[in-house]
Each structure stands twice: as C-alpha cells, then as structure tokens.
C-alpha cells in the first residue's frame, strides 16, 4: 500500500481483539480515587453505581484486555474505521506535512462514543442490569448509549443538559428513535434537580448537574446502573481501539506519526487515538502528542491538578485531575461536548508526566478550520472535532515554515450534521471568541480549596 492512497482500510479480521490499558505502562501509577473521608476507595464503594465487571476494568493494571466476541460483532457494523489521507486539505495549506485523519464519524451515532457505549451496555446486561441511566451534554453520548442499549437489549434513560435540550431537538429525536427516555436537566425528578431549580430557575444546566441527577436515580434501584461517556479509566480503555487501528493503518503504508492530535472534553477520543502511541513513547519512541480544548473551558491548560468530584452534588469519589471546579457552569459555546469541568484522570496524569502537551483555541479559529475542512475534504466536522482540525492546521503551517515533511495524525471524532446551528451562527457572523475570565475561574476553584492536594508526579 502507498501513503498516496486516500483511504487506508483494514479488513474486519484485522480489527483489534484486545483493548490497550495504559495503566500497565505508566512510569508512576495513577493516584487512586478517594472517598469523602480522604482515603482511597475500594471496588465496593462504586458497586451501586457501576456493574462489578466494569469496576474491575476501571482498576485493572493488565496491559491487554480481551474484547468479548459479542462486542466485537457489534463494533464491526462500522469498524475498523477508515484512516483518510487529507490530500486536498494538504494542497490548500501548501504544506509538506502528510495529514491523516481517523474517521470516527462513520458510526451510526456519528462519533467515537459508541466504541465505549456498546461495551458498557453489554457489560451491564451481562451483569444482570435492566436499566441504564446517563447524562448527556450536546447529545452525542446520550444518542450513542441509546443506540447501544437498543442493540444490546436493555433500557436507557438520559438526563440532557437544559441548554442542549432546547438547542438540539434532533439529538433528542435520535435518542427517542433508539427507544430511550430523554429528560431536560436540571429536572424536578431528583432531589438535586429540585434544589438547583429552586436556586437558579433559569440555569442552562451543566454536565456536572446532569451526572448528579443520573447517579441519584441509578443508585435507588438494584437492577439499574449509571453509565459515563468519558473521564473514567474504562472509557479510555474502550476507546484505544481507535489508536490501535490507526497504528496498524499507518504501518501498512510504512509511516509512523510525528504528531498525534485529539480534541479533549472529558478526554476519551484523545486517549483513544493517543494512548497506544504514548505507550511507544514511554518505551523510547519519539512522538509529539497534543490535546486541544476550547479557551472557554480550559481544563487542561488553566485548571489546576487537584482532587475534585466528577459531579455537582459531590456524589462521585474524588478524582485526581485537572479541574475548573465541580460547580463550574460553562459558557454556552457550540462545542457542547467539550464543556466538562474535569479531565480524565489518565489524561491529566500523562500531562503531569510530561508525555503530552495541551493547547486551547478560540471558537472562531475552530469554525474557520472546520469550513476549510468541509471545502477541501467534504465532510462537515463536529464543532468539537474542529478543535483538532484547527490544531492540525497550526502544526501543518509550522511544518511548512520549517520545511519538514511531518506526519500528522488527527482523530476526526465525529461529524457535525446534528450541529448545523453553530455553522449557521458562524456564517452569519454571530460567533465571537470567549476566553474564560480569570476571576470566574478563581471563583469556581473556591469549591476545591478544602480538597486534598493531588500528588505531583
């Protein structure tokens, strides 16, 4: 095969049969989650929230974990996903860089999220669970889990952040089409939701609030559990199939990336594309790895590394992560999937270890990049994905200046066909940049000032 091909494809029998667990290779182990008393928690502390088979994965330090046959069979509906060479984008940029993008937009729900949604639905069913409850921000996770629960055969209920519930009616319809129940958060169904509505009746909501509502309901019933679409170790694990495939695909054309790029909300698509390459880096290979996020929600670039809760009501254990504070209400930028207050502990940890870099970008640069991508490669990217594209364009321009033929690998995390309002706002000149003001950040961080300090690597 030649690197001049436009698509580098794997056969179904070349799909990875194991996930890669970076915990096996970390030079310093991940700091443990802590309970409310400040001591590390054991598996039982999570037993009402997640099924034990997923809790075992969450804590595992085995390097390779088998993907059950039944999960492989469902993943094969769209996997292995194609790796594209962005010939036309390269030509428009007049760059000597070779740009490759891993197209995760080919899944039925349109993003990388079904890679873990299918696995989580299957492990819950296997454990005897009948109902899964979750939250969703922009709606990508809710729709991925709704589809997966339908394919696997269990019930699904989704608390959707109010602002997206109002702005994104089509995502709601997708969830309903796949048989899920979708409710605006904060809602009057939970104690948390009622408390927040009483204090802030007009709140746009946040992922942290919706997570609190979902967990509150999930722990009330023995046959019900909660599912999270990002942040946790087992989610990062399930997403590594992206990077494992991409490494095989580049290998087929005799290449290895100089730079690997992903956008980061909770960290899962970034971890998915990058962890197999970070494994190589830990073992001596040279590769630059960049996570990119919005200036409006700058978790990795400006959030301190602290122990913080994953949700607003502080029901989750304390996780060592970059955080903007669990009470953070993000501004209403269009990349809804990047508006979480925390960053996956594993992604935060590899940042602490100096294995990755992080950048933050304004939304107008991202939409300009998305437009150029649509004009050259055809596909319309999700606003989240646009961050990875904008960073890729920055790196390609650097390669041009340096006259270097760099190989850049980007995770194309999803399509934007359900996010066209953002494009409309951009094209009619209604979008402006918004960097999180320092005083808002400092106020939000007051919520973590009494938490135990996260260990510095």
Ligand X SMILES: *Cc1c(COP(=O)(O)O)cnc(C)c1O
Residue 388: closest CA among 360, 348, 420? 360
How many other β-carbons are positioned within 10 Å of the β-carbon of residue 195? 15
Q: What's the number of CA atoms in the CB half-sphere (13 Å) around residue 339?
A: 28
Tokens at 93, concatenated: 């940029």
**What is d(CA 205, CA 339) in angstroms, rounded to the nearest whole number?**
11
Instruction: Name which position in 31, 142, 257, 265 contacts ligand X (CB under 6 A).
Output: 265
Nearest distance from C-beta of residue 166 to ligand X, angstroms:
19
**Ramachandran angles phi, psi of 134, nearest 5°:** -145, 180
Regarding 233 and contact with ligand X (CB under 6 A), the answer is: no
Regarding 385 and contact with ligand X (CB under 6 A), the answer is: yes
Regarding 164 and contact with ligand X (CB under 6 A), the answer is: no
How many other β-carbons are positioned within 10 Å of the β-carbon of residue 140? 30
Nearer to ligand X, 185 or 268 (CB): 268
Q: What's the number of CA atoms in the CB half-sphere (13 Å) around residue 61?
A: 9
Nearest distance from C-beta of residue 335 to ligand X, angstroms:
8
Nearest distance from C-beta of residue 382 to ligand X, angstroms:
4
DSSP for residue 251: H
Regarding 303 and contact with ligand X (CB under 6 A), the answer is: no
Residue 438: closest CA among 302, 333, 342? 302
Nearer to ligand X, 104 or 258 (CB): 104
Q: Is the dihedral of CA 231, 233, 237, 238 positive or negative?
A: negative
Nearer to ligand X, 151 or 297 (CB): 297
Q: Is the dihedral of CA 197, 200, 202, 205 positive or negative?
A: negative
User: Beta-strand (E) ranges in 93-204?
Assistant: 98-103, 131-136, 155-161, 181-185
Measured torsion, CA atoms of residues 211, 194, 315, 347, in degrees rounded to the nearest 10: 30
Among 157-165, 166-174, 379-387, 427-435, the segment contacting ligand X (CB under 6 A): 379-387
Regarding 120 and contact with ligand X (CB under 6 A), the answer is: no
Instruction: Name which position in 193, 266, 330, 422 contacts ligand X (CB under 6 A).
Output: 266
Regarding 384 and contact with ligand X (CB under 6 A), the answer is: yes
Regarding 81 and contact with ligand X (CB under 6 A), the answer is: no
Nearest distance from C-beta of residue 77 to ligand X, angstroms:
18
Tokens at 388, concatenated: 């990875």
Regarding 413 and contact with ligand X (CB under 6 A), the answer is: yes
Nearer to ligand X, 116 or 187 (CB): 116
**What is d(CA 244, CA 104) in angstroms, rounded to the nearest whole number?**
13
**What is d(CA 131, CA 44) in angstroms, rounded to the nearest whole number?**
20
Nearest distance from C-beta of residue 188 to ligand X, angstroms:
27
Instruction: Name which position in 16, 31, 193, 414 contacts ligand X (CB under 6 A).
Output: 414
Regarding 263 and contact with ligand X (CB under 6 A), the answer is: yes
Round to the nearest angstrom and report the end-to-end CA distance of the chain: 42
Q: Where are the alpha helices (DSSP H) in 24-113?
A: 52-59, 69-75, 87-93
Residue 421: CB partners within 8 Å, gap ≥ 6?
A: 167, 168, 334
Nearer to ligand X, 85 or 415 (CB): 415
Regarding 338 and contact with ligand X (CB under 6 A), the answer is: yes
Residue nearest ligand X, CB atom distance = 414
Nearer to ligand X, 224 or 308 (CB): 308
Among 260-268, 402-410, 432-440, 449-457, the segment contacting ligand X (CB under 6 A): 260-268
Regarding 206 and contact with ligand X (CB under 6 A), the answer is: no
Nearer to ligand X, 239 or 309 (CB): 239
Instruction: Name which position in 269, 299, 348, 392 contacts ligand X (CB under 6 A).
Output: 269
Instruction: Name which position in 268, 292, 301, 360 contacts ligand X (CB under 6 A).
Output: 268
Summarize as ranges the residues that interact with ligand X (CB under 6 A): 111, 113, 140, 230, 263-270, 337-338, 382, 384-385, 413-414
């Amino acid at each position: 095969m030649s690197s001049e091909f436009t698509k580098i494809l794997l056969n179904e029998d070349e799909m990875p049969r194991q996930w890669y667990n970076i915990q096996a290779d970390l030079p310093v182990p991940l700091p443990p989650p802590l309970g409310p008393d400040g001591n590390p928690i054991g598996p039982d502390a999570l037993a009402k929230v997640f099924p034990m088979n997923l809790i075992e994965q969450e804590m595992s330090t085995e390097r390779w974990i088998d993907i059950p046959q039944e999960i492989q069979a469902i993943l094969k509906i769209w996997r292995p996903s194609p790796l594209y060479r962005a010939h036309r984008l390269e030509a428009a940029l007049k760059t000597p860089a070779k740009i490759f993008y891993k197209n995760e937009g080919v899944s039925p729900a349109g993003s990388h999220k079904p890679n873990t949604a299918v696995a989580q639905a299957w492990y819950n069913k296997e454990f005897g669970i009948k109902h899964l409850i979750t939250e969703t921000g922009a709606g990508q996770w809710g729709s991925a889990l709704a589809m997966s629960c339908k394919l696997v055969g269990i019930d699904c209920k989704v608390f959707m952040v109010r602002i997206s519930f109002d702005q994104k009616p089509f995502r709601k319809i997708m969830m309903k089409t796949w048989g899920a129940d979708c409710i605006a958060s904060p809602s009057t169904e939970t104690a948390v939701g009622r408390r927040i509505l009483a204090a802030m009746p007009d709140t746009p909501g946040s992922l942290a609030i919706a997570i609190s509502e979902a967990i509150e309901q999930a722990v009330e019933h023995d046959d019900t559990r909660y599912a999270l679409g990002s942040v946790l170790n087992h989610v990062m694990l399930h997403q590594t199939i992206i990077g494992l495939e991409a490494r095989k695909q580049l290998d087929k054309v005799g290449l290895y990336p100089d730079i690997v790029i992903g956008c980061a909300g909770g960290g899962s698509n970034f971890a998915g594309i990058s962890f197999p390459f970070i494994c190589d880096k830990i073992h001596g290979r040279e590769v630059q790895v960049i996570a990119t996020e919005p200036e409006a929600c700058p978790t990795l670039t400006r959030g301190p590394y602290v122990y913080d809760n994953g949700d607003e009501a502080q029901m989750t254990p304390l996780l060592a992560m970059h955080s903007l504070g669990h009470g953070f209400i993000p501004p209403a930028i269009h990349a809804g999937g990047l508006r979480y207050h925390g960053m996956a502990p594993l992604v935060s940890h590899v940042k602490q270890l100096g294995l990755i870099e992080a950048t933050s970008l304004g939304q107008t640069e991202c939409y300009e990049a998305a437009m150029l991508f649509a004009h050259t490669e055809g596909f319309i990217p999700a606003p989240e994905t646009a961050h990875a594209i904008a960073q890729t364009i920055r790196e390609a321009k650097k390669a041009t200046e340096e006259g270097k033929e760099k190989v850049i690998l980007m995770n194309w995390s999803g399509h934007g066909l359900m996010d066209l309002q953002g494009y409309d706002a951009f094209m009619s000149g209604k979008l402006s940049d918004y960097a999180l003001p320092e005083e808002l950040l400092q106020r939000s961080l007051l919520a973590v000032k009494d938490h135990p300090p996260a260990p510095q690597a």
